[in-house]
Amino acid sequence: MKRTLFFVLFAAAVCASCVERRMTLVTKPAGAVAYYNGREVGVTPVTFDFTYYQAADLRFEKDGCRTLRTVQPVKAPLYQRFPLDFFAETLVPFTLRDSHTFEYTLEVETDAPVEEVTGRAEEMRAKVSPRR
């Protein structure tokens, strides 16, 4: 009995698989600094490993473009859902690869004309100034 249990555990350890989860972020224009859940992951286009299937908090920053913040859902494949995830992580004798690619377009920031900004400032000043 002990030998059988040992053999089963040994076989499971030897056959243990791995699941590789990769995410690629692409922006137009390229060259934005990408943040995944608050952690900088590189300059787009960038590919990195992730651990959990969850809604990803993404942020992209690039000079001359507006900062883009978005929440991107990342769906788990069928083999990563309960109870199949146990078998995919431990008993499958090969590496499973799951790759996600997301593309975003950054808005180019334009400078507002000085007259427009000055006019809006005067309007705001008039709204907040005490009336006499």
Residues of the chain with pLDDT under 50: none
pLDDT in tens, 38-57: 999 999 999 999 988 899 99
Q: What is the DSSP string of 73-127?
A: --PPPGGGSTTHHHHHHHT-SSEEEEEEEEEEEPPBP-PPPHHHHHHHHHHHHHH
- Strand, helix or coil at 67? coil
